[in-house]
Amino acid sequence: MTHPLNTHSECSLSDNDMISSSVPITVGELCALVHQAWDVDFLFDESGLIKGRSNTNVIEKDHPDRHVVRIHSKTADKRLLSSLYDMLHAIYLQGYTKIPIPCALCHSTSDAPWIVSRKERLLSLFVYRQGHTLPLWETPSRPLLKEIARNCRELNQALSAVTCSPEEPFLDFETKQRNYLQLITASTEWQGRQESIRDELAHHFDTFVRNAYQLLADAALLCQGLRKQLIHGDIHQENLLFEKAQEEFPSLVCFLDFEEVTIGYAEMDVIFSALRLCKTDKTNPCLNINQSEVLYFLESYDPLLREFYEKNLPFWHAYFALQQSLLYMNHAFYGEWRLTKENGFLQCFNCVVNYTQKICVIE
C-alpha cells in the first residue's frame, strides 16, 4: 500500500467518474462492491485516491475505522495474492503486527477469501494504518536508518518462521529473474515501443542477457550455504510507515506493499534495501549510491553483513542493477511503463552490460 503523505490527487471526481483513467471502476461501483464484499460502508474521499506505479489505492475519509481499497495492476495473480494475504494474516496472528492487515470477505467460500474481481481487476481491503512515509530517493537520517535496520531484522525473523509448502505460489527470487529474462527475450516488440532508447537497447541487449545469466550464476555461488526464506523484496522510502518520521527517536509503524515477496536470501534483500534507501541525489535514483550510509545501515543490521557486502561491492551493485533493469523491462513488456533516458533504467541496464567482476567467495 502506498500511503498518501507526500502525494496528491489531481483528479476531480463525481460519483459517476472512473477511479482513474487506467481503472474502469466508478466511485459508486467501488463503494457498493466494498459494502457487498466486506460489509463496510466505504466513504470515498478524492484526496485519498493514490495512483501508484502499477496499483491504485483508495483511502477512506477520516473516521475511526478507516480502510484502504487496493486495486491491483492488470498483471496481478489472484493465487499469489491469496497466498500472500494468508501469510500476512498468519504472522499477524503470531504476534508480528508491523505489516498490512488484510480484511477477509464476509461470506466467502472460495480459496481466496481476501480478494474480489471486478472488470478484469482484483481488489482487496486493508485496515488503515496511520503514519507518514519518507520522501522517495532521499537518504533517511541515521536515526531512521538504524530504526529501519532493526525492524528489518525483526521482519526477517518473522518471515523465516513461515514454512512454505511446495503448493505455495511464491517464486524463488532467482527463478523470478529467469522468468523475466525469458519473457523479454521471447519478443522484441516491446523494445520498439521505447522510442528514446530503442537503438541503445537493441545494440547492447545480447550482452545484457549474457551478463544477466552470469550474475545469477555468481549470486548462487556467493550465497551458497545461506538459508533461503520469504523476503519482502521492495523495501524503500514509500514502503515504510512511521509515526513521526522526523523525530529524534523515530518509530516504525509497519512495512507496506508485500507484493514483491519471493523466496530468497535475507542478506541479499537487506543489501538491496540499503541500495534503495541510501542515495547521493534524486536525479537518477537507482545507482547513485551513498556508500557511507549503505555501510552504516548494513553495520546496524549486522556487522558481518557489511563485510559480506564490501568483499564483493561491484557484484552487489551489478546484481541490484539487474533486478532493477528486469523490473523496468517487465513493466515495459506489458505496456505499463515507458523506458526513457530520464527514468534511471539505462544506468542500471549499462551497469549489467559492463559487468566483469569476479566474485570473492568467503569460506
pLDDT reading at 130 higher than 80: yes
* Cα distance between residue 216 and residue 355, in whole Å: 12
pLDDT digits (tens, 9 = 90+) for 186-241: 998 999 999 999 999 999 999 999 999 999 999 999 999 999 999 999 999 999 99
pLDDT at 5: 34
The amino acid sitting at 96 is Y
pLDDT reading at 10 higher than 70: no
Please state the rounded mean pLDDT for residues 152-179: 93
Q: What percent of the chain has pLDDT over 70?
A: 91
pLDDT digits (tens, 9 = 90+) for 53-103: 678 889 888 777 899 999 998 888 999 999 999 999 999 999 999 999 999
Q: What CATH number is given to the structural domain containing 180?
A: 3.90.1200.10
End position of a domain, from candidates 127, 150, 170? 127
- Quick one: cell of 167? 503448493
Residue 278 lies inside a defined structural domain of this protein: yes
Give yes or no for a contact between 277 and 148, defined as CB atoms under 8 angstroms apart: yes
For 298-318, what is the HEC assignment? Answer: HHHHCHHHHHHHHHCHHHHHH
- Quick one: cell of 171? 517464486
pLDDT at 3: 40
pLDDT at 167: 76
DSSP percent split of the chain into helix, strand, coil, nearest 5: 45, 15, 40
289-297 long-range contacts, CB within 8 A, separation 24+: 289/317, 290/139, 293/139, 293/142, 293/145, 296/142, 296/145, 297/145, 297/148, 297/149, 297/273
Do 261 and 204 lie in one domain? The reply is yes
pLDDT at 272: 98
Do 100 and 151 lie in one domain? The reply is no
Domain count across the chain: 2
Residue 115 lies inside a defined structural domain of this protein: yes
For residue 261, the enclosing domain spans 142-353
Do 215 and 276 lie in one domain? The reply is yes
pLDDT reading at 352 higher than 90: yes
Q: What is the mean pLDDT of the chain?
A: 89
Best CA proximity match to 57, nearest among 90, 104, 113, 100 = 100
- Quick one: cell of 286? 537507482
* Cα distance between residue 106 and residue 36, in whole Å: 8
Task: Categorize the per-residue pLDDT at 23 as very low, low, confident or very high, splitting at 50, 70 and 90.
Answer: confident
pLDDT at 362: 65
The amino acid sitting at 307 is E
pLDDT at 284: 64
Do 309 and 168 lie in one domain? The reply is yes
pLDDT at 15: 46
Do 76 and 165 lie in one domain? The reply is no
Length of the chain: 363
pLDDT at 357: 78
- Which residue is listed with cell 531484522? 153
pLDDT at 360: 77
Residue 331 lies inside a defined structural domain of this protein: yes
pLDDT at 156: 98
Do 153 and 255 lie in one domain? The reply is yes
Which residues on neighbouring strands pair with residue 102, listed in sequence order? Answer: 126
Which residues on neighbouring strands pair with residue 279, listed in sequence order? Answer: 289
In this structure, of 4-13, 132-141, 289-298, the range with the lowest mean pLDDT score is 4-13
pLDDT at 245: 63
The amino acid sitting at 221 is L
Q: What CATH number is given to the structural domain containing 60?
A: 3.30.200.20
Residue 10 lies inside a defined structural domain of this protein: no
Using CB atoms within 10 A of its CB, is residue 207 exposed (0-12), middle (13-18) or buried (19+)? middle
Do 199 and 238 lie in one domain? The reply is yes
Integer CA distances (angstroms), 113 to 30, 89, 102, in order:
18, 12, 10
* Cα distance between residue 15 and residue 29, in whole Å: 9
Task: Categorize the per-residue pLDDT at 246 as very low, low, confident or very high, splitting at 50, 70 and 90.
Answer: low
CB count within 10 Å of CB 331 equals 18
